Amino acid sequence: MKRYLVQTMGCQMNVHDSRRIEEVLSADGWLPTDEPALAQLIVFNTCSVREKAEHKLMSALGTVRGFKEERRDVVIAVAGCVAQQEGERLLQKARFVDVVIGPDNISELPALIAHAQGGGAPVARTVFDVHAPAFLEATPAPSKLEVTAFVTVMKGCDERCTYCVVPYTRGPERYRSSDAIIHEIRGMVEGGVREVTLLGQTVNSWHEPNADEPADEAPPWSERLARTSQFAALLRRIAVEVPELGRLRYTSPHPRHLTDELIEAHADLDVLARHVHLPVQSGSNRLLKRMLRRYTRELYLERIARLRDAVPGLTLSTDLIVGFPGETDEDFAQTLELVREAGFVAAFAFKYSPRPNTPSLKLEDDVPEAVKAARLQAVFDVVAAQQRPHLESLVGTTQRVLVEGISRTDPKRSTGRTARNEIVHVDGVDLEGAFLDVVIERANEHSLMGRRLSEAPVERPRFPHRLKVVG
């Protein structure tokens, strides 16, 4: 019996890729295990976006080194963004690694494992599929289907935000055809999936792949705010052609592709969630320029104001970097001001971390660690001060909740989300995949507690089955 274990680090893109790795392995006769000692194959799917993420791989590798020394038959593979970034170098740094495999080469994994098992030399395979982009179709086993699923619509990134390693680890932008996207969503919905999140690094730059256009050609650099949105057309097509889909989200959009057409789609489509995660990174125009984000704070604020006009009550969350080279107190004050003005109810904030190959490596990492830490805390404090009253304002209202699974802290309760992405706990089990109307009774620090308005779910899944327990 061949058993594998995949350990995932990093973003949703990697979570999604890990699923495809599992599917490729299962088609090759492998079975999963949670026990490293029982595995003949251990795959680390890695992230490189900040130094800390890369360290995680090194310490994880440390834990399996002993194994490899004791059991020569176990195959160690490193996938994901560190694999792509380091390639052959990783084989030098960690001599017990057998296979290094980039995000575009997942389908080659079984052959590389067979090579390693046959006593072949360690091998690195990190080639972008720019000329024949291959999107591995999701083929989850029924037992692996969950209430909410990711669907990739594009790969790579053509932006060059000066701090970011992703364009180098994920390659140029390539798009998946709308036919393939719709086909995958339809299959998932027929299998019981209720909510789909479209996935891409700049997901709203999606357009129909054009056979005449070389896949590796970046859009003109002068084009700042996009004017048309094929992405909006894609959302409309999904809404019309998969009417059974309960809820549609996407992540992460780039502000310069938040076109009027996309805003109109939000106004028109009930299936679209009333929440957008729109990374801003900084509130200072000087820093936005240094980061090459290609928008100003004014443009960002104008875009979200329009979005909110179109969808009253829409919630926003964001990503922020503190301590980017040259960030002054004044720059940071503008970031905090923007966080307040935008009224974010959640934010992922990170201390700037210099990354290999990125343009900002040339800038001195001059903000002291203690200042970075204080600024990070200040961001979290402001966001918490906004999240709390927002959640409290919902007490007494009725919210429609899509139940995702059993609560992690209380096995008699279920947990789900509203269209605005608030987390709601409710009494009762066996409700996965159901839309419930819930009266909100209490606000916790980051979530809500509620009571079902009626015993019967508003809508039952068409294909109910047991789903994974979630937190």
Q: List residues binding ligand F3S (CB under 6 A).
A: 10-11, 13-14, 47-49, 80-81, 165-166, 169-170
* 320 lines the binding site for ligand SF4 (CB under 6 A): no
**Hey, is 112 helix, strand or coil?**
helix
Name which of 122 and 279 has its Cβ closer to ligand F3S.
279
Name which of 77 and 203 has its Cβ closer to ligand SF4.
203
H runs (alpha helix) in 144-245: 166-170, 178-190, 230-241
Strand order in the sheet with 195-199: 148-152, 195-199, 247-251
Place of tokens 């509203």: 418
Which residue in 23, 86, 104, 159 binds ligand SF4 (CB under 6 A)?
159
Which residue in 84, 202, 414, 418 binds ligand SF4 (CB under 6 A)?
202
Which residue in 103, 167, 323, 450 binds ligand SF4 (CB under 6 A)?
167
H runs (alpha helix) in 311-436: 329-342, 369-392
Name which of 319 and 337 has its Cβ closer to ligand SAH.
319
Q: Which does 353 bind (CB under 5 to 8 A by kind): ligand F3S, ligand SAH, ligand SF4, none?
A: ligand SAH
Question: Phi, psi (5° rounding) for residue 266?
Answer: -60, -40
Number of Cβ within a 10 Å radius of residue 69: 9
Closest CA to 140 of 175, 102, 185: 185
Site for ligand SF4 in 96-115 (CB under 6 A): none
Shortest Å, Cβ 251 to ligand SF4: 11
Site for ligand SAH in 78-137 (CB under 6 A): none
CA distance 458 to 460: 7
Number of Cβ within a 10 Å radius of residue 412: 9
Residue 77 in contact with residue 100, Cβ under 8 Å? yes
Site for ligand SAH in 231-270 (CB under 6 A): 252, 254
Task: Give the pair of three-digit tokens for residue 234.
Answer: 């894609």
Shortest Å, Cβ 125 to ligand F3S: 17
Which residue in 201, 205, 335, 386 binds ligand SAH (CB under 6 A)?
201
> Under the rule (CB under 6 A), what is the footprint of ligand SAH?
49-50, 163-164, 166, 201, 252, 254, 279, 281, 319, 321, 350, 352-353, 355
